[in-house]
Amino acid sequence: MIFVTKAEATRSVLTKNRAEELGADVWRNFVVPRFFGRLDLYTARKPRIIVGGRGCGKTMLLRYLSHQSAFSLNRTIVPNDALKHIGLFWRADTQFSTMMTKRDVPDDVWVSAFSHMAALILGIEVLKSLTSISRSKCEHIRDSDIERIDFSRLRAFDDSFPNSSLALMSTLEEKLWAFESWVSNVRSGTIPTFLPGQAFVTSLIDVIQQQVAPLKGSTFFVYIDEYENLSEYQQRIVNTWLKHSEHPLIFNLAMKRNAFQIRQTLGAESLSDIHDYRAHDLELYLSDEFEVFAAEVLFLNLSLDDIVESPVEEKLLRDPERLTERQASEYKKRIINAAQSLFPDVSHEDLASNVFNEPALLQKLRDRIEFALQKRKSQLLASSFIRPSIPQASIVSPVLLHRQNLQPQTVADELDLYGKEHKGRFDDWIHNNFIGALLLLYGPHFRACPFYAGFHTFCHLARGNLRHFLELCHKSIDQASADLGTISWPLDPDTEAEAARQTSTAFLGEVKSFGVFGNQLHAFVYRLGTVFELAQQRPSQSESERNHFAITSGRQPLQESEFHFLNEAIKWSVLFEEKGTKKKDSTTPESSEYILNPIYAPYFHISYRKKRRIDLSSDDLILLIKGSVDEVKTLFNRFAKDWEVEAAEVIPTLFSSNSSE
């Protein structure tokens, strides 16, 4: 499939890859996730906790469930049962929530103040939901039904409350502004009269349901996003609301992995999984069929901007009732193939052929073979190992020549056998070493390697992160259209690879903004990535494609602070933790393996595939987390010596102006 798109139409496509950039109503941009039925959100009477890393779609899902999207003006039909589930989205302002602590104000005052703020914010959202419903295509409620509601009973909370919906909303907004002003001036301001959070919102809903018959069976679901940004006492308050959730008001939470550390409530009881809530791990659900879902999201966004014609109709992607149609194997194959026709992957055979078609790369291959032969004091010629008819085997040859357990003549003989009959040891050698050998040829300072190109590759690099995936696609399109009046599809793999490197660099720089540990996490990623980069430069590639690690014992055991740091790295998806799959020997206990986020692989010029790990001692890890610059340099030099790498070619990148060191 080759077709052309005007470049000016593509420069802004896919740039809005965060839910916050789409506004409150995301219905038009939302693809119902394939796991939607597993969440049981429409019929649930028990709170739900949504867990997942940045970019996995938590906020987008909560926005979709909220009233602005459920009763969107863009919807031509609103389902009859939509009134049973009315969503209220709330993301607490992190900075403002942090202000609501200490400052010479007693703790019990802050507890009441936070509940008051919640009452105002959620009260406003309840009233806004009535407006969304009455102005939508929902046939059961009109503006006149809302205008007739009498809110005078709420004067039991505050005798200044007016009767009408519009006036009450204005009053609540003014009280919220006054409250924000008080928080900013707690030492000089007068403490306002606080509303009881959950009780006030429940009473507001009760007043509405008594006077609007179609809403009598409605349940209002509060979706609190980024729960981890609340302070400890605020989380205890929210936990209390969650534990005591019941019709018509149910609280739900969304948070990053490892963020649910506080389970206590304001009372003696703590939250208990299953008994009090159901947890859903979006990344786990996405991992099953991420490629299909990523393709669906890609084509919806491209078709909305008239960039390409989608192979699937928009209505199908938005309809929860038609999820089974998207489970058919033929459908999955069709949409994945369509995505790959835009962003083509490069086969290993083509990766190898590219080397022989690129004079500079072919010369580097020849130079590496000659260097290895000289080091082994072999009289064989480099030309004996360069075979255009078997390019993958040729590319693997120099790493084999660096291995002391293999004689150069043995490698040459095996190459002859593989060239004639495709038999012998080269099948295994290619399988285990080709990508490592290829990355050695490109090197970290050459042009980007097309190993990082393609739809399937982008899905691996994104690892369930839709934001990362869309940014990879956007950068590819933007790169292709930079100097052209038109774009030819499919995109050139070299263009995609360069886009992957740019995207990797951008997301690496973003680590500094990851919470209170941002700068330390940023330095850690640079240090850990450099360790993997050093391993990738090993001439023999005896253990190639090393991009994850396990922790072994050392002189210094890890302390609570180091474990807390690792939890932060996992929470922010800098690292992924998996159960160990390999043991060095029968005496080695099975442990966790920590995988560097694959999105950083193009920057460090390492493999994104989980192949082989490095065992880091606890002493090594402590240095990577909090060692001084000189200590870390010494550590790198030790690794470089062990791996026979010219460290000077790699280590300076760590201490460049881009680093936080």
* Cis peptide preceding 248, ω within 30 of 0: yes
Please provide residue 224's backbone torsions phi and psi, each rounded to the nearest 5 degrees: -95, 115
20 assigned to some structural domain: no
- Asked if the structure places residue 63 within a domain, the reply is no
Q: Same domain, yes or no, for 295 and 413?
A: no
Same domain membership, residue 239 and residue 101:
yes
Instruction: Say whether both 379 and 489 belong to one domain.
Output: no
Residue 266 lies in a domain: no
Give the pLDDT of residue 377: 95
Residues 425 and 543 in one domain: no
Task: List Cβ neighbours of 427 (8 Å cut-off, separation of 6 or more).
Answer: 418
**pLDDT above 60: residue 166:** yes
Do 160 and 90 lie in one domain? The reply is yes
- Number of structural domains found in the chain: 4
Boundary (domain end) residue, out of 255, 278, 304: 255
Of 613, 604, 448, the closest CA to residue 526 belongs to 604
306 and 212 both lie in a single domain: no
pLDDT at 586 over 60: no
Q: Is-contact 511 610, C-beta < 8 A?
A: no
* Domain contains 153: yes
Higher model confidence: residue 19 or residue 136?
Answer: 136
Whether 175 maps to a domain, the answer reads yes
Residue 311 and residue 359 in one domain = no
Instruction: Indicate if 420 and 468 belong to the same structural domain.
Output: no
Quote the DSSP letter at residue 617: E
Q: Which residues in 413-449 are b (16+ Cβ under 10 Å) and which e?
A: ebbeebeeeeebbbeebbebbbbbbbbbbbebeeebb
Q: CA–CA separation, 305 vs 294, rounded Å? A: 17
Q: Does 539 share its domain with 630? A: yes
Each residue of 638-661: pLDDT tens digit?
999 999 997 665 565 554 434 444
Residue 355: phi and psi, rounded to 5, are -65, -45
Give the model confidence (pLDDT) of 522-570 as tens digits: 999 999 999 999 999 999 998 999 999 999 999 999 999 999 999 999 9
Lowest-pLDDT range of 3-17, 203-217, 305-319, 417-431 = 3-17
| Reported pTM | 0.92
Full domain range(s) for residue 499: 290-342+450-508
3-state SS, 568-602, equals HHHHCCCEEEEECCCCCCCCCCCCEEEEECHHHHH
pLDDT in tens, 121-161: 999 999 999 999 999 999 899 999 999 999 999 999 999 99
- Does a structural domain hold residue 15? no
Asked if pLDDT for residue 306 goes beyond 60, the answer is yes
Domain assignment of residue 285, yes or no: no
Indicate if 230 and 169 belong to the same structural domain: yes
Q: What confidence tens digit (pLDDT) does each residue in 271-283 have? A: 987 789 999 999 9
Q: What is the mean pLDDT of residues 285-290?
A: 90
196 with 227, same domain: the answer is: yes
Looking at the structure, do residues 324 and 460 belong to the same domain, yes or no? yes
Residue 114 belongs to some domain of the structure: yes
